[in-house]
């Protein structure tokens, strides 16, 4: 015998939800490239870097498309010998997240690995910086794009150049030229270390 009523657990999908999903589909067809720099100088640095890459890969609306070789670098902005050296890498991601949401996710990853912000240039378990987001140039003090000091940092430019030799830093020109002007001092390739893409 057939039930006289339709299944009460099946409800029509509200039009507002359909509209939201349709909008998301449209957005998903237009992802933007972003460049993220990662650095760690406390604890198990490689484990933390890989964990951060994996956490980024688990982010809805974000795909990690490439991860650079690892570099060991002297701490920036502090007296030599006062902090452990950093392991640094760059990730190229495609994302449908706007810059503000990408920044929130970067901060969430830092917090997950117990990043402490007590002093500028302080030692840290993990640092996740947005270096560039498509061709966006923004003076927003919350998120300046591109990163205001990226053109001065070989530990960002060297791994980025490895991933994309033709890369351009918006407002500053070719990454290759910026890196050549800085030179390789204080930035050492670690061929014995390798980060993997999220599964």
Q: Active-site positions?
A: 115, 124, 127, 129
Contact in structure between 73 and 135 (CB atoms under 8 Å): no
Contact in structure between 117 and 106 (CB atoms under 8 Å): no
* Tokens coding 137: 């140039």
Dist CA 93 CA 35 (whole Å): 6
Nearest to 102 by CA among 153, 136, 150: 136
User: What backbone phi and psi angles, to 5 degrees, belong to 189?
Assistant: -65, 140
Specify the 3-state DSSP secondary structure of 92: strand
List, in sequence order, the alpha helices (H) in the chain. 15-28, 45-57, 99-112, 154-163, 175-182
Dist CA 7 CA 115 (whole Å): 50
């Amino acid at each position: 015998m057939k039930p006289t009523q339709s299944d009460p657990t099946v409800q029509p999908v509200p039009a507002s939800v359909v509209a939201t999903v349709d909008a998301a589909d449209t957005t998903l067809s237009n992802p933007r490239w972003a460049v993220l720099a990662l650095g760690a100088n406390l604890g198990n640095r490689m484990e933390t870097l890989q964990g951060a890459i994996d956490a980024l890969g688990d982010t809805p609306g974000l795909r990690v498309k490439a991860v650079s070789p690892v570099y060991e670098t002297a701490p920036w902005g502090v007296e030599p010998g006062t902090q452990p050296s950093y392991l640094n890498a760059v990730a190229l991601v495609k994302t449908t997240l706007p810059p503000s949401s990408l920044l929130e996710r970067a901060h969430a990853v830092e917090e997950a690995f117990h990043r402490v912000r007590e002093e500028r240039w302080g030692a840290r378990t993990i640092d996740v910086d947005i270096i560039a987001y498509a061709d966006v140039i923004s003076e927003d003090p919350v998120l300046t794009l591109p990163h205001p000091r990226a053109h001065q940092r070989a530990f960002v430019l060297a791994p980025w150049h490895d991933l994309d030799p033709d890369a351009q830093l918006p407002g500053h020109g070719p990454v290759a030229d910026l890196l050549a002007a800085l030179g390789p001092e204080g930035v050492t390739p670690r061929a014995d270390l390798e980060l993997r893409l999220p599964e």
